[in-house]
Amino acid sequence: MEMYRKALQLAGEGRRFALGVVVDAQGSTPQKVGCKAIVDEMGATVGTLGGGRVEAQAFERMREALDLGQAAVSEHRLFDPYSRSAGPICGGVMRILANPHMDQNLQIYRAALEALARGEQGVIATVVDNGDPDAIGSATWVAEPDIDASVGLCSADELRGALAGEGGRCVPGVDGASIYVEPVISPPRLLIVGGGHVGQAVAVPACFLGFDTSVLDDRPEYTRAELFPPEATVICGDIPTEVERFPKGDRAYIVLVSKGHRPDAEALEVCIDSDVAYLGMMGSERKIRFIRKHFIESGLATKEAFDRVVAPIGVEIGAVTVQEIGVSICAQLVAARRLKSASRPPVHATSPK
């Protein structure tokens, strides 16, 4: 949604611009569906469509669209044979919408952002192709309660399907049209239990990656606002109570990196059976083995429930420093979010000889 906010800002400054959106991507491509960029009338750019020659070509199409006042969709095939001077060789196909029709769409983006600020959600549906060149790029805002009543774009099932995921996609519309549907949903919620060095190292990249981040600790000295990004919410309170209060659901992520095994176990006890997208706990193999044994033997959790806990936490990258540990944990959060996976993949590294 950041590019829509940027579009509203530029429009408020009286600047003309075109918005580029990757509306379809097949095979290996430098960017995926939903990636956006802006080119203004002076040629300045914001965002990226993948870099390299594809982006240069897409930016040129956006400038042309802005000059002509006509939206257009360009296809970029990345199948050049390899050579030092070759064009894109990734092996995929991208379709990019170059859209200069901001006057008619700005109110749509504003409505979507205002709904999001109220905690509501919905779908932005944009025409990619419906046989009418003048209609390409026109957007419609469909609030979630209005999905079943919406007509003229695509089926309600397609809109609900878009709302169920995080990324945009092209779907078939009425009368053979092609519609780009993009969900407008709240960012994933992350609770970091522990405001120490690791919690701080997780909070910084987590905020940058778009997680609605909260940090919890029961020690006032580790909940000082200056220790964390300004976007983060910092909570000082009883750990089990606050973990229990944290909103759960399939967009909730919980990271247990507190001061020791006791607060981690206390936090785990109140959330191990919760419906969350990710639950990870830091610790040595020995610590986790003991906590697992205690939870199962005391009836606090079944084996199946404990198997959902990602522990030890983080992608195995050979992390040594606290900052590297924070990166490894955030990489796992991204995998859980985008791939619906939080496994610990093998390391493919070459050892020095």
Listed residue (39, 31, 88, 33) closest to 64, CA to CA:
39
Looking at the predicted structure, is the pLDDT value of residue 310 above 50? Answer: yes
Greatest mean pLDDT among 91-100, 174-183, 232-241: 232-241
Please count the residues of the chain.
353
The pLDDT tens digits for 320-335 are 999 999 999 999 999 9
* Number of other residues whose CB lies within 10 A of the CB of residue 211: 26
Listed residue (187, 216, 168) closest to 34, CA to CA:
168
The pLDDT tens digits for 146-192 are 998 876 788 899 999 888 877 889 999 888 889 999 999 989 999 99
Long-range own/partner contacts, residues 314-318 (CB < 8 A, 24 or more apart): 314/280, 314/282, 314/344, 315/344, 315/345, 316/344, 316/345, 316/346, 316/347, 317/347, 318/347, 318/349
Q: Which superfamily does CATH assign the domain made up of 189-338 to? A: NAD(P)-binding Rossmann-like Domain (3.40.50.720)
Q: What distance in Å separates the CA atoms of residue 194 and residue 243, rounded to the nearest whole number?
A: 11
pLDDT over 90, % of the chain? 72
Distances (CA, A) of 136 to 46, 114, 141, 215: 22, 25, 15, 44
pLDDT at position 342: 55
Instruction: Give the pLDDT band (50/70/90) at residue 208.
Output: very high
The pLDDT tens digits for 103-133 are 779 999 999 999 999 989 999 999 999 888 8
Q: What distance in Å separates the CA atoms of residue 18 and residue 69, rounded to the nearest whole number?
A: 9
233: alpha, beta or left? (left if phi > 0; alpha if psi -120 to 50): beta
pLDDT at position 88: 52
Residues near 81 by Cβ (< 8 Å), separated by ≥ 6? 89
Show me where the domains of the chain are located: 2-100, 105-184, 189-338
Question: In the structure encoding, which two tokens stand for residue 67, read together?
Answer: 């000059």
